[in-house]
């Protein structure tokens, strides 16, 4: 009775787990902005880091020597903190989580410097403080801690708790989100349910599985895919067919330009005066309901969509992961029609692996940074400013044999959206987001650059005989800036419905001398570019395996699937696990969107089979038949 109760002593393992558990949970809310809708989701989010942390730190309990155990705990804590920190920085920039294929894109890292630094905060150093505390505790061994080797009974009990926690987490996640690991394209949903660290383990599993798909694939795998594609083709039947036949084709990718800036103002200042004028031009079709469909590959994804009318991958970038696949590209079809095909981008030729991919896609020439002269004051953000880029590019065009196809990639309107004073044609916005504030200025500069580009083409005598297609390659303002976007749009908040609508990017088809002017509000996406351009240029492409449709076809199904599984139709939008009425922007029964969800799931799955299995090597694009005597069902 005289014995006093004393608090059990803590081990270094338990303290390390507690530290990482707490800061991971903080990161979920402070950096990843993960939201929950009910108590079950709150519970899952709270416990999901724990099972992995128990298991990974538990390995340290197997070491007999105290010093080895302590070193293992400290090193593991540092590595896991570094992984968490890397995801935080990546998320601030891309609004996404790191995948294994992204880590293989090392040739891009050197060009990411400015954007990466922009997303690292001084306060991030606090995430590493616990590692220093662990080092101090291991060295000075305070009395409230125990450092002796655990008994076999304690170890067994520990791992039973760890395993039970893992299955509890998985069970709750499966209850809350059925078929979580088999039917989701949303990485945030995975992190929300199984945790950051378990997500990375799952990502490694996916990478291993997908790496084996090509070796196991054969032509039979293409039968169902081809039947689906043939059944969903839209016949060419419109007044735009062949209107650009024999003309030069110039495709301009408008870096980071979203559609909300077109015909709009910022604090009373017009954002895109020249592009606004094109929306009223008698020789221009302006698509105001056109969506980007990129994922982690961003600009390279938009290029992949243009050339192949296939979706990008949900993880990494096809330009890196499957650069050697067999593809049937827009560029190939233009080559066959007698065009001199080239890409123009004043950046390092290896960025996004372009020097390898462009050769595989069939481009005759890649005009990269070495083909441009960048004088003092002519570079900002990620490279050469757009106005001198256009000026020098037109000089290259003047030397080309006609007809030519030039794909041009702009750079100035790129995160972190800085400009030199002489290039600022409007003032900054006044929100709490420096990124959004500066964005309007770089968009305005990009608009001015396009105006100058048209002038250069006219002066060079190339304008009248060219088809000019321009489109936004991906969003510029991620969901991380929703508060500032709500301020600009004068809304209380940005809902999942609003966010889906903000994925619209401008698309212009400008054919001088042709009376085609209109604002076309048909639903379309980047996947529709290839068949649309082929139709305009009078090029046959009906046998290609592709998921896009000619925008101007009367048979176009007016449905857009985003790479993350969001779907937009004429009347409904599926986003944020919710079905929305498109006209009112209000939620409706999820069952109303089920046909759209099923279509997206099937189409994206077929798409991934093509890429992971390199299935187009089994397909004859000219005849529209599968190789190796495999029968194709025509529908």
Question: Tens of pLDDT along 592-603?
Answer: 999 999 999 999
Query: Under 8 Å CB-to-CB from 22, ≥6 apart: which residues?
Result: none
The single residue listed with the structure tokens 């599985």 is 209
Q: What is the pLDDT of residue 630?
A: 42
pLDDT the model gives residue 635: 36
State residue 349's pLDDT score: 85
Residue 182 clears pLDDT 70, i.e. is over it: no
* Residue 579, beta-bridge partner list: 574, 588
Range 76-83 contact pairs with CB under 8 angstroms and sequence separation of 24 or more: 76/16, 77/16, 77/19, 77/20, 77/130, 77/131, 77/134, 78/128, 78/131, 80/20, 80/53, 80/56, 80/197, 81/20, 81/23, 81/127, 81/128, 81/130, 81/131, 83/196, 83/197, 83/200
The pLDDT of residue 631 is above 50: no
pLDDT digits (tens, 9 = 90+) for 223-254: 999 999 988 888 876 789 999 999 999 999 99
Q: Using one digit for the tens of pLDDT, what is the confidence trace for 200-219? A: 888 888 777 767 888 888 88
CA distances, 89 to each of 82, 86, 92, 480 (Å): 11, 5, 5, 12
The Cα 412–Cα 390 span in angstroms is 12
Beta bridge pairs of residue 269: 266
Query: Is the preceding peptide bond at 416 cis, omega within 30 degrees of 0?
Result: yes
Residue 1 has pLDDT above 50, yes or no: no
Query: Residue 175 pLDDT > 90, yes or no?
Result: no
C-alpha 298 chain-centroid distance: 5
Short-list 95, 134, 92, 98, CA closest to 115: 92
Q: Which residues pair with 341 in a beta bridge?
A: 405
Q: What is the pLDDT of residue 597?
A: 96
Q: Copy the structure tokens of residue 472.
A: 């936004």
- Reported as a pLDDT band with limits 50, 70 and 90, residue 526 is very high
Give the pLDDT of residue 138.
93
Averaged over 127-149, what is the pLDDT? 92
User: Which pLDDT value is given to residue 549?
Assistant: 94
pLDDT of residue 114: 57
How far from 467 is each of 57, 249, 276, 406, 520, CA to CA, in Å?
A: 61, 5, 19, 11, 18
Q: Tell me which of 349 and 468 has the higher pLDDT.
A: 468
> What one-character-per-residue DSSP string does 307-363 give?
HHS----SSS-HHHHTTTS----HHHHHHHTT-EEEEE-SS-TTGGGHHHHHHHHT-
How high does pLDDT run on average in the chain?
A: 90
pLDDT at residue 105 in the model:
59
> Residue 632: pLDDT above 50?
no
Helix (H) or strand (E) holding 470: strand 466-472
**What's the rounded mean pLDDT across residues 364-388?**
91
Q: Give residue 521's pLDDT.
A: 96
Cα–Cα distance between 59 and 69 in angstroms, integer? Answer: 9
Looking at residue 629, its pLDDT comes to 43
Given this model, what pLDDT does residue 98 score?
82
Residue 506's Cβ-count burial label (10 Å; 0-12, 13-18, 19+) is buried
Q: Is 65 exposed, middle or buried (0-12, 13-18, 19+ CB in 10 A)?
A: exposed
CA distance 479 to 484: 10
Query: Residue 507's closest CA among 310, 299, 330, 292?
Result: 292
Range from 52-56, 114-118, 131-135, 478-482 carrying the lowest mean pLDDT = 114-118
Residue environment code for 462-476, b if the CB has 16+ CB neighbours within 10 A, otherwise e = bbeebbbbbbbbbbb
Give the residue carrying structure tokens 């070193």: 71
Residues 541 and 242: beta-carbon distance below 8 Å: no
Phi and psi at 25, nearest 5°, equal -65, -40
The answer on pLDDT for 518 being more than 50 is: yes
| Cβ contact 551:563 at 8 Å | no
Strands 340-344 and 404-409: parallel
Higher-pLDDT residue of 122, 265: 265
Pairwise pLDDT comparison (466 vs 107), residue with the higher score: 466
As a whole number, mean pLDDT of residues 336-353 equals 92
Q: Angle 196-211/187-194 helices, nearest 10 degrees?
A: 130
Q: What is the pLDDT of residue 537?
A: 97
Q: Is the pTM for the entire model greater than 0.95?
A: no
The more confident residue out of 114 and 404 is 404
pLDDT mean over 180-186: 64
- The catalytic residue positions are 299
How far apart CA 615 and CA 459 sit, in angstroms, is: 46
Query: Residues 619-629: what's their mean pLDDT?
Result: 79
């Amino acid at each position: 009775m005289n014995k006093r109760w004393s608090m059990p002593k803590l081990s270094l393992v338990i303290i390390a787990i507690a530290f990482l558990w707490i800061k991971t949970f903080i990161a979920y809310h402070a950096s990843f902005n993960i939201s929950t809708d009910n108590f079950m989701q709150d519970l899952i989010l709270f416990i999901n880091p724990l099972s992995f942390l128990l298991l990974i730190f538990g390995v340290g309990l197997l070491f007999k020597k105290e010093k080895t155990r302590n070193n293992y705990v400290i090193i593991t804590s540092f590595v896991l903190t570094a992984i968490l920190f890397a995801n935080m920085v990546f998320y601030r920039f891309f609004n996404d989580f790191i995948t294994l294929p992204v880590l293989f894109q090392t040739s891009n890292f050197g060009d990411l410097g400015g954007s990466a630094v922009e997303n690292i905060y001084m306060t991030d150093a606090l995430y590493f403080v616990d590692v220093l505390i662990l080092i101090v505790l291991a060295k000075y061994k305070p009395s409230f801690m125990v450092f002796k080797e655990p008994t076999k009974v304690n170890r067994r009990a520990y791992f039973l708790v760890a395993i039970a926690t893992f299955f509890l987490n998985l069970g709750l996640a499966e209850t809350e989100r059925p078929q979580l690991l088999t039917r989701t394209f949303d990485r945030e949903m995975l992190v929300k349910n199984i945790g950051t660290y378990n997500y990375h383990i799952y990502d490694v599993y996916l990478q291993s599985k997908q790496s084996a798909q090509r070796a196991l694939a054969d032509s039979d795998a293409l039968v169902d895919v081809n039947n689906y594609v043939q059944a969903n083709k839209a016949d060419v039947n419109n007044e735009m067919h062949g209107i650009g036949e024999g003309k030069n084709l110039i495709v301009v990718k408008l870096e980071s330009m979203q559609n909300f800036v077109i015909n709009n103002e910022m604090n009373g200042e017009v954002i895109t005066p020249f592009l606004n004028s094109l929306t009223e031009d008698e020789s221009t079709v302006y698509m105001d309901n056109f969506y980007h469909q990129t994922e982690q590959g961003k600009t390279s994804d938009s290029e992949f969509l243009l050339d192949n009318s296939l979706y990008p991958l949900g993880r990494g970038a096809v330009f890196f992961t499957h650069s050697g696949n067999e593809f049937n590209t827009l560029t190939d079809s233009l080559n066959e029609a007698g065009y001199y095909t080239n890409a123009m981008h004043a950046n390092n030729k290896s960025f996004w692996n372009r020097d390898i991919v462009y050769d595989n896609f069939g481009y005759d020439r890649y005009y990269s940074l070495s083909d441009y002269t960048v004088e003092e004051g002519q570079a900002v953000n990620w490279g050469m400013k757009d106005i001198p880029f256009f000026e020098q590019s037109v000089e290259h065009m003047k030397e080309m044999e006609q007809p030519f196809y030039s794909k041009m990639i702009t750079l100035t309107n790129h995160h972190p959206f800085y400009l030199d004073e002489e290039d600022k044609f409007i003032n900054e916005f006044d929100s709490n987001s420096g990124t959004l504030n500066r964005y309007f200025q770089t968009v305005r500069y990009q608009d001015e650059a396009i105006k100058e580009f048209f002038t250069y083409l006219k002066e060079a005598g190339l304008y009248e005989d060219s088809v000019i297609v321009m489109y936004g390659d991906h969003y510029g303002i991620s969901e991380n800036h929703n508060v500032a976007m709500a301020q600009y749009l004068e809304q209380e908040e940005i809902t999942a419905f609003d966010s889906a609508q903000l994925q619209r990017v401008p698309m212009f088809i400008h054919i001088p001398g042709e009376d085609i002017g209109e604002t076309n509000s048909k639903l379309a996406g980047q996947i529709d570019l290839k068949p649309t351009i082929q139709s305009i240029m009078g090029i046959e492409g009906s046998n290609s395996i592709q998921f896009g449709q000619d925008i101007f076809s009367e048979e176009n199904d007016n449905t857009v699937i985003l790479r993350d599984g969001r779907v937009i139709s004429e009347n409904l939008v599926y986003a944020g696990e919710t079905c929305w009425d498109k006209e009112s922007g209000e939620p409706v029964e999820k069952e109303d969107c089920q046909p759209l969800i099923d279509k997206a799931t099937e189409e994206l799955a077929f798409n991934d089979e093509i890429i992971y299995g390199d299935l187009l090597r089994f397909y004859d694009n000219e005849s529209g038949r599968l190789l190796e005597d495999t029968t194709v069902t025509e529908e």
